[in-house]
Amino acid sequence: MTRRNKGAGRGTQDHKRGEDSHWLWGSHAVRAALVNPKRRSRKLLAVGADAGLRALAAGAKVAIESVDPAGLSRVLPREAVHQGLALLADPLEELDVQDAIEAAPHPRRLILLDQVTDPHNLGAILRSAAAFGVCGVVVQDRNSPPVTGVLAKAASGAIELVPLIRVVNIARTLEELGEMGFLRLAFADEASEPIEKLDLKRDVVLVLGAEGDGLRRLTRENCDVAVRLPTRPQMPSLNVSNAAAVALYACAIAS
């Protein structure tokens, strides 16, 4: 597992000519990015600025450019709910699993997602991960959404707190996590083992798939046990972001 750095040190960029910088929007996403020392801010657009925002901008060493709502709409996607704020920023440095877990307190929690492609679901999962102290969310490089303003807005600032770890091979990553001592839990509606019956006072990786398709065969084969949430038979399936939150709560009360 090696550290990857795709975003740092690429030189001066703006939204027209930069290949790496991207827009973030929404109050929580922008303010969280401004206070993150690992995030480099390039340009801040605001429809009005209170004292708190001015202080955050000064700390991030970025000037506030006053614009009207139409000015924001011209640089953001049509559907962006910007709340009067947009920030052009460099991507965060990408970490590998070892980087993410080495300083985390025990028991350590990871989430691994298999083919979860909806940025709103991934954003909601990152938000729950931040709330419950997860040390990283692992996704497959080619089957996951890019880190864009849509994802950052859905994560409500959590993208600044929880590393999003992209890997090439999920099965190999699960093998390595097993070698590190992680209990690998594959979530499936049809599993016979309820999560509340397991010993969760140890390092755990929660492995969840897309709603409908679920986990791929090779992903399940590289887990230790298939588990289910305590849902009723009449409604056994949850949206993957809701399932992740329930599973994290189960881990939290067991610790």
Q: How confident is the model over 143-197, as pLDDT tens digits?
A: 788 888 999 999 999 999 999 999 999 999 999 999 999 999 999 888 888 888 8
Instruction: Pull the structure tokens for residue 132.
Output: 């419950």
CA 143/CA 140 separation, integer angstroms: 5
Between helix 51-60 and helix 27-35 the angle, nearest 10°, is: 40
pLDDT band at residue 19 under the 50/70/90 scheme: low
CA 214/CA 238 separation, integer angstroms: 11
Residue 194 has phi, psi (to 5 degrees) of: -80, 145
The yes-or-no verdict on residue 11 having pLDDT over 50 is no
Domains and CATH numbers, the chain: 22-89 (3.30.1330), 97-254 (3.40.1280.10)
The yes-or-no verdict on residue 62 having pLDDT over 70 is yes
Share of the chain above pLDDT 70, in %: 92
pTM for the whole structure: 0.87
CA 22/CA 87 separation, integer angstroms: 8
